[in-house]
Structure 1
Amino acid sequence: MSDNFTTSETAELIKADTALRSLRDSGFTLADAIGELVDNPLDSGAKNVRIGYRVEDRKVGRKKNTRRFLSALAVSDDGTGIPPNILPQTLTVGFSTRYGSRTTVGRYGVGFKLATISQCQRLEVYTRPRYLKAVRANRDAGEQWAHQEDNVDGRVFRSYLDLAEIADGTQCGYEVEEVDGFPEEFAHLMPEGEFGTLVVWRKLDRLNDDKSFGSTVDEKLSGIEFFLRRAYRRYLDGGLNIEWQVGDAKDDVPELKSLAPYDPTFRLDDPESYWIANDERPKGEPVRTMEGEEVETGTVTVDGEEVTWRVYLTPKETRWQKGGGGVEGPCEGEERLFKRLYIPENAGKISFLRRGREISYTTVPRFLPGGVDKIDRYIGVEVEFPPALDEYFDVRHVKRGAEPVEKLRDQLRNAIIRPVKEARDRVRKLWKENRPESTGGDLTGGRSYVSSLAAAAKASSPSGLAGRGITAEEEETRLRQAAELAGVTDPAKQVEFVERARQKPFALFEGAWPGKSLLDVAHLTNTLAVTINRRHPFVKSVYQPLADAVRDGVDPDEAVRLLESAKDGIDLLLCAYAMAENRNAEDPDEDFGDLREDLGRFAAVLADRWANRQE
């Protein structure tokens, strides 16, 4: 082979058609992709962002029925617009007037383009720029640009990208053309005379995926509004107006509504949360502010830049009592009042904010002390950092899934351990303060599930011998005695207690009386009533601590101790039964053999029902 080998052949730097098609799978969800279209206006000084779309009905295959398809989606803003001399370049992957910036939302020059082609095949950009020319201010200073020549006539320009045309060679580059105005179906998003930009997606093949397991258009669009409210909550609170289309628009100009911020920490003013809390407020009840409760705020310094962390609690109304789940209010008749506040979905989530824009809302392994607890739905944790620290949070061109590198994660975790535990303690303290009385209302003492399970097992078992000959007067006397043991002394309430107990095939009560009796069992005509003695040493030392822990919660170390105590307590209870047999019979096998068998059989039935319960 000759050492002087030469060739006149050259290779393309990139094969545009296949490269762009490969880049369609860049990990963008629809929400992420729309977020990229909203990010650009934030850096161009926009005060208003409007999002609209068009749908149409199409036949699929030979079927007579039609399906709803999205024919176009558009995002507008009233920022400074894009000078026509650089408009085509904005479609080039890698180009950005803010490339490498450590102070802006945009940085890489790829997100907007990749987000678009991840959802559709055609992108159109219309702009009415404030200036007609953009020039580099100082080539030695990187991507710094200056603007020249005012657009006094309000001229409108367009450029586009079409994957099908690139593939067949029709489009070999991006060009700019002057047009008469914005496309008619989205002209309402750009009021006459305003400067700004309109981005239009067409040929939405990915969004209109009609595969059998693909989500429908409605399903894909349903979460966008909430995503925008949460991700841009700081900007919305600071004056940015984002408007989202209400309903379809096939022919008429659609209605747009301004979005209110959704703050999982409930520290920002959210008119919708306030309305939800107060619209159905019982007459005479005080107005609910629905403001979150700050627990603690701190900072961690990395390379001279500050990372700020914050721990908050949701409003007291959402965590009033244990069992409300963040969806029930503190007053009667308010079942699931706060369902639309998304509190249950927040459990264990960490909100990562980059320059005020949330780029990730997710659980982070080994971040919260002891792991994620259900009680954490009432706790909001924010971590905010500047773009200068992107590498420390593994931020790439897709602004999602941010997670601190291991060393920083450990620093942040150590910082929030104490305030998160403090937040959990505050929730449990409030639950304890508002703990409902078990007497008069819930006859089970908080054991409604066990009572219903035992009742179902009793109903499917052979009838017992006890209680067959008891009279109605004797039954009422026994139930009134159970009411007194449970602390119900008012005669009228005792009548209610008796009537409710008679309706239950199996009833569990709590009472308190002196002596060593653990249980009082009343074998009635249709009811098997068991009253547990709260004053018994076994209940006080073994059972009650477990009940308190279930109700109020405990830290992991205390939970392990309680589990060990429960195991030993069950063993002691079985030993106590064996000692009772020994005390009361010369031949326990003869006298208590059937009882033993029935005890084991009923325990197996109940345990099987419990193991197969629906969570």
Structure 2
Amino acid sequence: MNQSKLYISPSVVIESMRDNGYKNTAYATAELIDNSIQAGATCVRLACFEKYKTRGKQIEQIAIIDDGKGMPSDVLHLALEFGGSKHREDEKGMGKFGMGLPNSSVSQCRLTEVWSWTNPEEILYTFLDIDKIKNKELESIPVPIKKDLPEHIKQAFNGEIPNSGTVILWSRLDRLNWKTSKSIKLHTESLIGRIYRRQLSAESECNKNKNPLRIVFQCYEYNDLTQSYLEINSESFRSNDPLYLYADTTLPTLPDPVSKVSPFAVKDIREFQIEYEEGKFSTVTIRTSALKPEVNIALRGTTDANIGQTIWGKHMRKNIGLSVIRADRELDLIANYHIADNNYLDRWIGAEIEFEPVLDQFFGVTNNKQGANKIKYIPLDTLAAEIIDVEGKTKAELEAEYLNYLEEEAPRDAKITAINSTIKQMIDDAYKSIENLGYKGFKSTEQDEPENSVIKTDLTNIQATIAERHRAEEFEVDGDESDPDVEGIKEHLMNEGMPEEEVEKTIQEIITNNLKVKFEYRDGLDDFFDIASFQGFTLIRINTEHSFYSKFMQNTNDDERNLLNLCLAAWGRMEKEVPPNIMKECRNTRRRWSNMLEEYLGETVE
């Protein structure tokens, strides 16, 4: 008699399913917060439980605790299955994919336990244990049973368990990005505040007739004497708005007389209607915002330097980019969506695109809700050149001809392309409004400053700097949070024989543009490229006498050279992140590769 078999054996695939693309622990916890919000929670707690180990304090468990509507037995049983969630039935809900709870959990830990209740007298429990699945002790999610909450979880409720709710507890944490509650808080407060800014702000439209959501970070430390956990910190997350349209955010209080206003005002709003099923339409909304003139004046009054170096400018530089909003929740902040002018103006504008989950396929939303693959700007004339004869045609004519072609051949692609082009145009318009008000370079035109007071920098320096900041959010190393060590850079350049006037200009270029990475071309180096790292800064120097430069790099166009430079910047970041015991070997490898490259290129073959 034939017996049916599982299509895929859980014990075989469970480890590979852990590599599911979450950028870091903060994004993984956000998946669980989504579920809490969709369950109607008014308060969500992110609780870390620490114990002292031989190397100091370390997180033992992380819990997401909410007062939502809870789950009955059948729903709870489905919740830990991949793709089994009831959220798939909610077209407009945050969850929808049904992957969030198991996907995010296995990406961080080996044991996930869930308690949920619709009545505090009957708390249900089930779990997902990777080790038991691998050892074939467990082939399916256990049917929920009645089981009381652990004492330390009850403590997180401050002694009063709500009438309904859910607790998700991660243990055997083998894949955390950060090992202490201090690090978790440092890296999650900005991100969680930005992802859920609308839910957290009292000024948001989604809180018009209700109180804002509370997301609370709680830290507990195990006491060996009492054999119990003691709370050492409890703090609510605040909204972090990259459009700066709310006043109640993490941005430091503005100076008087603008201390109680939002820094930016809406610049433009445009809408698109997208047909996602026959006869069914959904609205896509694009917004831009720009710094208010009165706020510019107030900030200029606080400093003799440029505004970008103030506490407000430094906050804003971490929020540069196009914010992608789905179901009132941010999926991504695309930092390099469209950079127009060496970053002088970027932090003084905001840009946002918003859509409903019914358009997930249209925009290419990933199932871990960390991005939308089809929201990206590619110049239309570049696309047009691939299929249209460009000779004798202006850029505008090429763009119009390309859009007409798409309308006939691929209407869906035409709509996506039109949306991306509109975003780019609205960003350009916001830049122009700032320039017209005299904000360029963070300088007031009324001060009659010389034109060279702001030193422009190469676009690749900006792109590498943005990539470095994003990488630091996931894999922080010493110095990432620091401003560049200006004195160290100056001393290094002077010791290499760079003229003092050139040194000063380089330093000003770094300061003015808030660079974390800078490229330089020079002769006299031993290798093709050299990397000098300072506190908060990386200098990458490219040898103009190396055969790879003379035979190839100097003949490339700007785009090709930028790509090559970014490859070198990635190597530089890799050297920063490797453990100290192999750092020397990485540098030796760079040198050996450089010499080998010289040998392989040899004389050019005619």
Matches within 5 A, 1:474-513: none
1:389 to 330, 345, 359: 359
Q: Is the contact between residue 208 and residue 216 of structure 1 (CA under 8 Å) also seen in structure 2?
A: no
**Does the 8 A contact of 1:48 with 1:240 survive in 2?**
no
Q: Which residue of 1 aligns with 2:316?
A: 343
1:498-577 alignment, distance < 5 Å = none
- 1:144-159 to 2 correspondence within 5 Å? 151=119, 154-159=121-126
Please state how far the C-alpha of 1:342 moved relative to its aligned partner: 2.4
User: What are the within-5 Å matches in structure 2 for residues 227-376 of structure 1?
Assistant: 227-237=191-201, 238=207, 239-245=211-217, 249-250=221-222, 251-273=229-251, 276-278=253-255, 281=256, 287=259, 289-303=261-275, 304-316=281-293, 319=296, 329-332=300-303, 336-339=309-312, 342-347=315-320, 349-363=321-335, 370=340, 373-376=343-346
The 5 A counterparts of 1:361-510 are: 361-363=333-335, 370=340, 373-404=343-374, 407-431=414-438, 434-435=444-445, 437=447
The answer to whether the 8 A contact 2:217-2:237 is kept is no
Q: Which amino acid aligns with 1:58?
A: K
Indicate yes or no: 2:187 matched with 1:223. yes
Deviation at residue 186 of structure 1 after TM alignment? 5.2
State yes or no: 1:84 paired with 2:69. no
Shift of the alpha carbon at 1:118? 0.4
**1:501 match:** none
Conservation of the 8 A alpha-carbon contact between 1:329 and 1:338 = no
Distance of aligned partners of 1:49 and 1:434 in 2 relative to their CA distance in 1, 3 Å threshold: same
Specify the code of the residue in structure 2 equivalent to 1:385.
F
SS at match of 1:297: strand
Which one-letter code corresponds to 2:187 in the other structure? G
The SS at the match of 2:88 is coil
For residues 35-114 of structure 1, the aligned pairs below 5 Å read 35-59=30-54, 66-114=55-103
Q: Which residue of 1 aligns with 2:21?
A: 27
For the residues of structure 2 that align with 1:414 and 1:420, how far apart are their CA atoms? Answer: 10
Residue equivalent to 2:398? none
One of 146, 149, 160 as aligned partner of 1:178: 146
Question: Aligned residue for 1:556?
Answer: none
- Contact 2:215–2:237 under 8 Å retained in 1: yes
Matched residue type, 1:83: P
One-letter amino acid of the counterpart of residue 86, structure 1: V
Distance 2:414 2:335 in 1: 17
Shift of 1:320: 5.0
* Higher radius of gyration, 1 or 2: 1
DSSP 3-state at the match of 1:86: helix
In the alignment, structure 2 segments of 5+ residues that lack a partner are 202-206, 223-228, 276-280, 376-412, 457-489, 503-511, 513-606
Cα distance change of structure 1 residues 505 and 180 upon mapping to structure 2, 3 Å threshold: closer
Asked if structure 1 preserves the Cα contact closer than 8 Å seen for 2:220 and 2:233, the reply is no
The C-alpha deviation readout for 1:299-333, integer Å capped at 9, x for no partner, is 01111211000011134466559xxxxxx653247
| Contact 1:46/1:80 (8 A) holds in 2 | yes
1:339 deviation in Å? 4.2
Deviation at 1:397, TM superposition (A): 1.4
Specify the code of the residue in structure 2 equivalent to 1:73: I
The code of the aligned residue for 2:291 comes to T
Give the deviation of 1:30 after TM superposition: 1.2
Q: Distance in 1 between matches of 2:75 and 2:27?
A: 25
Q: Does 1:162 align with 2:135?
A: no
- Check whether the contact 2:67–2:165 (CA below 8 A) recurs between aligned residues: yes
Q: What whole-Å deviation, never above 9, does each CA across 1:205-239 have from its counterpart, x for those lacking one?
A: 11178xxxxx8775455221111110011111223
Query: C-alpha displacement at 1:344, in angstroms?
Result: 1.6
Q: Structure 1 residues 505, 76: closer, same or farther in 2, change over 3 A?
A: closer
Residues 429-448 of structure 1 show CA distances to partners (whole Å, capped at 9, x for unaligned) of 3326932545xxx8x78559
User: Take 1:427 and 1:320, find their aligned partners in 2: how far apart are those partners?
Assistant: 13
Q: 1:120 to 1:447 in 2, by over 3 A?
A: closer
> Shift in Å at residue 14 of structure 1?
2.1
Following TM superposition, by how much is the alpha carbon of 1:346 offset from its aligned partner in structure 2, in angstroms?
Answer: 3.2
The residue type equivalent to 2:16 in the other structure is: S
| Structure-1 separation of matches of 2:70 and 2:7 | 30
Residue type matched to 1:33 in 2?
A
The secondary structure found in structure 2 opposite 1:23 is helix
Equivalent residue pairs, number? 404
> Does residue 194 of structure 1 match 2:172?
no
- Aligned mates of 2:145, 2:79 — CA distance in 1: 14
How far 1:108 sits from its partner (Å)? 1.9
Cα–Cα, structure 1 residues 43 and 378, in superposed 2: closer, same or farther, change >3 Å? Answer: same
Structure 2 length-normalised TM: 0.59
Offset of 1:277 from its aligned partner? 1.5
Q: In structure 2, what residue type is equivalent to 1:330? A: G
Q: Is the 8 A contact 2:200 2:239 kept in 1?
A: yes
Provide the C-alpha distance between the structure 2 equivalents of 1:342 and 1:431, rounded to a whole number of angstroms: 21
Distance in 2, Cα, partners of 1:421 & 1:260: 30
Q: 1:246 to 1:99 in 2, by over 3 A?
A: closer
**Per-residue displacement from partner, 1:97-123 (whole Å, max 9, x unpaired)?**
122532211112112101100000000
Amino acid at match of 2:20: S
What amino acid is the match of 1:302? I
Q: Does the 8 Å contact 1:70/1:207 carry over to 2?
A: no
Shift of residue 165, structure 1, vs aligned partner: 1.8
Deviations 1:261-313 (A, max 9, x none): 1111111232543x5214xx5xxx56452331111101011112110000111
Instruction: Give how far 1:20 is off.
Output: 1.8
Q: Give 1:206's aligned residue.
A: 175
| Equivalent residue letter for 2:435 | R
| Conserved 8 A contact 1:392-1:408 | no
What is the TM-score when the length of structure 1 is the normalising length?
0.59
Output the CA distance in 2 between the equivalents of 1:302 and 1:340.
37
Moved more, 410-419 or 43-52: 410-419
Quick one: which amino acid aligns to residue 49 of structure 1? V
Partners of 1:74 and 1:186 within 8 A in 2: no
Whether the 8 Å CA contact 1:127–1:197 is kept in 2: the answer is: yes
Q: What's the secondary structure of 2:365's corresponding residue?
A: coil
